[in-house]
Each structure stands twice: as C-alpha cells, then as structure tokens.
Amino acid sequence: MVGPLWFVGFDSLMEFVAFFIALAIAFQALKGYRLTKQKTLLYVNYSFALLSAGLLIDSLAGFLGILSRMLRGVIVLTLVGYTIYFLAQVLAYAILIFAYVSQTRTLSAKSVSVLVAPLAGLMALQQGPVFPIKLLGPLIEYHPVSEIVLLFLVFYVAVQTGLNYSATQDRNAFLVFLGFLLLASSHLLFILTPLGPLLFAIGHVLQLLGFVSLLTMLLRVARVK
Amino acid sequence: MTQRLPKYRSQMRIYVDIMRVIQREENRAKPTRILYGANLSHDRLVKHLDELKSLEVIEEVVDEDDKFYRLTQKGVEFLNQFRAVERFATAFGFAI
C-alpha cells in the first residue's frame, strides 16, 4: 500500500479518466497528421497513445487488484501494471522530447544529454549497493528512482512548452504548459510519498488536473468558430 | 526557442495561404490578389491553382471576362479542419 487507505481505488479511477483524455489527444494529433503529414504531430500521436495505453493498463490492474484483494496475486498485478505504465511513460515522453529536438533541428550533444541523462543516472544507481535505489525488484511501484526518471523527462517537456507559451502568449499554449507542469509536480510528489501517504493522493489529483488542462486546450482548439 | 519557423513553406502551407487569401477576399479573389497575398511567382501560382482545382477545394469562376477563384464547400471545411489542427500544433509549440 503506497497511499492512504481511504484513497484506494481513487487512483485507478483518476487514471481511467486520464486514459480517455490521453486517447482524445492522440486522436486529435493523428487527425492533424493525416491532414498535414507533419511528422511532429505523428510523434505527439505516438506519445499520447502510449500514455493512454499505460494509464489504461495501470488503472485496470488497480481495479483488478481491489477486486482480488484477498488473493495473493494482488501485489504482483499492481506491480506489473505500474511497470508497464512506467515504461510507457518513459517511451511517451522520450518521443515527445525527440519531437521538440527534431523540430529545432539542433540535435546537439546538449540536447541528447538532456534526454539520456536520467537514464544514464538510473543505470549508475543500479550499480550502487544501497537497497532503496534499486529500481528492479518488488519496490518498483511509485519508487523514487522511477519517478525521478519521469520527473526529468516531463520537466524537459514542461520547459519546452513554457518557452513556447512565453513566445506566443497563447492561451492554449498556456494550458499545455500548465498540463505538463502539473504532471511534473505529480511525479515530484510521488517521489516524496515516503514522507507521507497523503502526498501520493495529492500527486494523483495533480496528475488528473494536468490531463484536464490538456483536455481544456483540446476542447478550445476543436471549437470551430 | 521551440517554435522555429521552417525555412521553406510546405506545399500544404502554400495551399492554405492561397485558400486564406481567397477567403479574405470574401470568397471571390482575382489571380493577381492571390499572387501577391500568397507571395508566389506567376508560374507557381498557376501550378498550385490547378492542383487545388483538381482537389475540388477551389473553383474558377468567369464573370464578364474577369476570372475569379472561390472556395468550394469542401474547401471551407478543409480550412476549418486545418485551423483546429494548426491551433493544436501551436499549443504544443510545433509549426506546420
């Protein structure tokens, strides 16, 4: 059990809602790609399709875990769900970062290092003898190390979208920036969960709010005047 | 800076620029207005107008020896869809 007892099930429910939002964004990006053949939109599609798949699997694993609470397989189920969600997120954000890097066409050593730094750091930590920093093992669910990797990746995307907002002053750009900022904050709180289970609940609320912000942007852009 | 403009306009962007000029001219634009509005050479304009006609998004109208271009219903719908996609891409910081 990672979060507070009263929160059991709410995390899965929130992820299930976020799944639909991520799917809607993936669909809009695909529609855009079909119309314009712009590759960056295809990357956005891949990214959010992966996120939606991860969210669905993790939320379903959570629901099934609640249903089969009495069974011994419950922990394995939620761990497998989270592992798939974690890998989906890493891939999704890496694709999004690649889209930003490829657009600016400056695939410098610095850009690449920003992308691979968290992964290299993770591999280095894996060599360490200290138990809590081992990623692989039974403590993978909302483990600080996996969440640190995600925080790095989402933070990079948040910075890119923030720069875009500062340049355009567009409300939709602000909503995207806010969305990724909230997602980054949620991962920060997941890292800090060992300090208090309530942080886990707040992290999930922030994660959902991040997706709601992206949904608001989607509804605004889809509205044809 | 994330929203760097591409060095060259894509074919899609040129099509949209032409169609937007026509729309701006209250759906009745002379070739000269399109030429200046979309910033194209004469040869390229003729080529792109033919392509857009074959896609059935614009149509040519001859009225008292004057030649005009106007958007078809399909063209209007395309521009609406493109506007939504453009706003979506811009929100993420991607240029089309």
Cα–Cα distance, A144 to A134 (Å, whole number): 10
> Is pLDDT above 80 for B7?
no
Question: What are the phi and psi torsion angles at A43 (to 5°)?
Answer: -65, -40
B:9-28 residues touching chain A, CB 8 A cutoff: 10, 12
> Is pLDDT above 80 for A112?
no
Q: Is A32 on the interface with B (CB under 8 A)?
A: yes
Q: How confident is the model at residue A107 (pLDDT cuts 50, 70, 90)?
A: very low
Please give the ipTM for the structure prediction: 0.82
Which one has a higher pLDDT value, A119 or A212? A212
Amino acid symbol at A2 = V
What chain A residue is nearest to B96 in terms of C-alpha separation?
A: A38
Provide the shortest C-alpha distance from residue A35 to chain B (in Å).
7
pTM: 0.83
Question: Please, what are the domains in chain B?
Answer: 11-90 (1.10.10.10)
> Is pLDDT above 60 for B83?
yes
Q: How confident is the model at residue A20 (pLDDT cuts 50, 70, 90)?
A: very high
Residue A133 CA from chain centroid, whole number: 21
What chain B residue is nearest to A177 in terms of C-alpha separation?
A: B92
Percent of chain A with pLDDT over 90: 60
Q: How confident is the model at residue A105 (pLDDT cuts 50, 70, 90)?
A: low
Which one has a higher pLDDT value, A186 or A68? A186
> Is pLDDT above 60 for B34?
yes
pLDDT at B1: 41
Give the mean model confidence (pLDDT) for residues A200-210: 96
Say yes or no for a CB contact (<8 Å) between A99 and B94: yes
pLDDT at B51: 94
- Taking contacts as CB-CB distances below 8 angstroms, the residues of chain A near B87 are 172, 220-221
Q: What is the mean pLDDT of chain A?
A: 85
Q: Is B61 on the interface with A (CB under 8 A)?
A: no
pLDDT at A144: 80
- Predicted confidence (pLDDT) per residue in A115-151, tens digit: 566 566 566 555 554 444 444 444 456 778 889 999 9
Give the mean model confidence (pLDDT) for residues B80-89: 93
pLDDT at A91: 96
Q: Is B81 on the interface with A (CB under 8 A)?
A: yes
Closest C-alpha among A175, A183, A174 to residue A155: A183
- Taking contacts as CB-CB distances below 8 angstroms, the residues of chain B near A161 are 2, 92-93
The distance in angstroms from the start CA to the end CA of chain A is: 48
Instruction: Find tokens 């669909």 and name the residue.
Output: A27
Q: How confident is the model at residue B63 (pLDDT cuts 50, 70, 90)?
A: confident
- Predicted confidence (pLDDT) per residue in A47-90, tens digit: 999 999 999 999 998 888 888 765 665 667 778 888 899 999 99
pLDDT at A161: 96
DSSP string computed for A138-194: TT-TT-HHHHHHHHHHHHHHHHHHHHHHHHH--HHHHHHHHHHHHHHHHHHHHHTGG
Say yes or no for a CB contact (<8 Å) between A221 and B88: yes
> Is pLDDT above 70 for A24?
yes
Cα–Cα distance, A26 to A38 (Å, whole number): 14
Pair of tokens at residue A130: 């200290």
> Is pLDDT above 70 for A184?
yes
What chain B residue is nearest to A218 in terms of C-alpha separation?
A: B88
Cβ atoms of A217 and A161 closer than 8 Å: no
Q: Find the range with the poorest average confidence among A29-38, A119-128, B34-43.
A: A119-128
Gyration radius (Cα) of chain B, Å: 14
pLDDT at B4: 47
Which of A29, A103, A175 is the closest to B2 by Cβ? A103
> Is pLDDT above 50 for A106?
no
Q: How confident is the model at residue B3 (pLDDT cuts 50, 70, 90)?
A: very low
Pair of tokens at residue A67: 């249903």
Instruction: Find tokens 């989402």 and name the residue.
Output: A154
pLDDT at A137: 47
Q: Is A93 on the interface with B (CB under 8 A)?
A: no
Question: Which range of residues forms the domain containing residue A78?
Answer: 5-222
Number of domains making up chain A: 1
**Cβ count within 10 A of residue B41:** 9
What chain A residue is nearest to B93 in terms of C-alpha separation?
A: A164
